[in-house]
Amino acid sequence: MLDRPVFPSTESPKTAYCIFQEPWWLDAVAAGAWQSLEVTRGTRVVARMPIVPRRVCGFTIIRQPPLTPTLGPWIELSGITMAKRLTEEKNLFNDLIDQLPKWDYIQLNFNHRITNWLPFYWRGLKQTTRYTYILNYISDLDQVWLGLQENVRRHIRNAERRLTVRDDLSVETLLDVVELTFSRQNRRLPFPRELFRCVETACVAHDARRMLFAQDADGRIHAALYLIMDTSYAYYLLGGADPRLRSSGAQSLLFWEAIKLASRKNLKFDFEGSMIEPIERVFRAFGAVQVPYLQIYGAAPLVKILLLIRELSHR
């Protein structure tokens, strides 16, 4: 493992820092498996791209680690003019790409503040656009409230009358609620519980998370939400609801409470969007801005054939 310099503590238009690039986060989700590709100028790190390569059936696969919505490069630019900035960006990206191990398949979700993928295109990679939803200006909660769809405001009001929001329950309780959501779809949790416990331990140590629960007078947990925070954003990482109690409006209430929490901390709120239509509809209803981000990918010829066979077999 390379020496791990600390990422900057404040957001700058010259960087694309997010908490998911932090060494402590990567240690939690990919302990001993991640690498840090870095570009230095003197003793200063000016570009960095963490990756998690794995060997699967003889192939080298580079993908997002679990529970990590975006990763990709972090860069620091010094150029003042646009021409200088783009030139510097190109050079830094090329230096990072040169350090990539030989891969058979690669797929990385870039932070939404990285908008230039041309150097990756010129190296033969492809790109597809994905979307998240972000509330950028939430200091005035009255204005944010007016931006919510009427049905969401109604759900929140109804839930406030019936439910209590708590933040003092266990991570096991949260996982139990999330598991109910997946069970309703005849699916299992897409990550091991032990892995999420590692994330929880790391986040608590860095004061980087909040858990919220909606509970009724009978002690039943209607919904739960897990929020990640850095110095600029609050990210919705994970949540769920009891399928038997879905009509209570608990999930809308918890999103609203999470937005209020982010507002008090002067943060933006990132729903960490979904390409699944019913989930996207929920995020859109909170009045957030649709923000594109880049998914970069590529596959060796044999892997392309195997992926095509897999796709055809699932049709």
Dist CA 230 CA 19 (whole Å): 6
Indicate whether 14 belongs to any domain: no
122 and 153 belong to one structural domain: no
Terminal CA-to-CA distance of the chain, rounded, Å? Answer: 42
Asked whether 136 and 287 are in contact (CB, 8 A), the reply is no
* Same domain for 191 and 304: no
Please state the rounded mean pLDDT for residues 234-240: 96
Does 179 lie in the same domain as 256? Answer: yes
3 state DSSP class of 203: helix
Residues 261 and 149 reside in one and the same domain: yes
Q: pLDDT tens-digit profile of 54-69?
A: 999 899 999 999 999 9
With respect to residue 275, please indicate whether it lies within any of the assigned structural domains: no
Please indicate, yes or no, whether residues 164 and 118 belong to a single structural domain of this protein: no
pLDDT score, position 314:
66
Shared domain for 120 and 163, answered yes or no, is no
Whether residue 192 lies inside any domain: the answer is yes
Q: What's the rounded Cα separation, in Å, for the pair 44 and 48?
A: 11
Residues 254, 150: one domain?
yes
Instruction: Say yes or no: 153 and 42 in one domain.
Output: no
The answer to whether residue 37 is domain-embedded is yes
| Helix ranges (DSSP H) in the chain | 23-29, 82-98, 118-122, 141-147, 150-162, 171-184, 193-205, 250-264, 277-284, 301-313
Q: What is the pTM of this model?
A: 0.89
User: Which of the four pLDDT bands, split at 50, 70 and 90, describes residue 121?
Assistant: very high
Residues 121 and 42 in one domain: yes
Confidence of residue 17 (pLDDT cuts 50, 70, 90): confident
Give 163-176 pLDDT, tens digit per residue: 999 999 999 999 99
Percentage of the chain beyond pLDDT 70 is 95
Domain extent, residue 117, equals: 19-130+293-313
- Report yes or no: 5 and 11 within 8 Å, Cβ to Cβ: no
**Token duo for residue 205:** 């140590």
Q: Rounded to whole angstroms, how far apart are CA atoms 199 and 219?
A: 27
Q: Rounded mean pLDDT of 70-95?
A: 90
- Where b means 16+ CB within 10 Å and e means fewer, 203-219 reads beeeebbbbbbbbeeee
271 burial level (CB within 10 Å; 0-12, 13-18, 19+): buried
Check residue 183 and give its pLDDT. 85
The answer as to whether 1 is a domain residue is no
Angle between helices 171-184 and 193-205 (to 10 degrees): 140
pLDDT over 90 for what percent of the chain? 77
- Domain membership of residue 10 (yes or no) is no
What is the domain-level CATH number for residue 37? 3.40.630
Is residue 273 one of the residues assigned to a domain?
A: no
Give 264's contacts (C-beta < 8 A, 6+ positions apart): none
Does 79 map to a domain?
A: yes
Please tell me the number of Cα atoms within 13 Å of 53 on its side-chain side: 15
Confidence of residue 1 (pLDDT cuts 50, 70, 90): very low
Task: Let me know whether 94 and 197 are in one domain.
Answer: no
At residue 38, the 3 state secondary structure works out as strand
Q: DSSP labels for 88-129?
A: HHHHHHHHHHHTSPP-SEEEEEBPTT----HHHHHTT-EEEE
- Scanning the structure block, which residue is given the tokens 């010259």? 14
Are residues 258 and 161 both part of a single domain?
yes
- Give residue 302's pLDDT: 85
Residue at a domain's end among 266, 282, 303: 266
Q: List all residues 6 or more positions away from 62 whose beta carbon is below 8 Å from its beta carbon.
A: 51, 52, 53, 54, 100, 101, 103, 105, 106, 107, 108
Average pLDDT over residues 106-122: 95
Same domain, 93 and 184: no
As a residue count, the chain comes to 315
CATH of the domain at 223: 3.40.630.30
- What's the structural domain count of the chain? 2
For 273, counting Cβ atoms within 10 Å of its Cβ (0-12 exposed, 13-18 middle, 19+ buried), the class is: buried
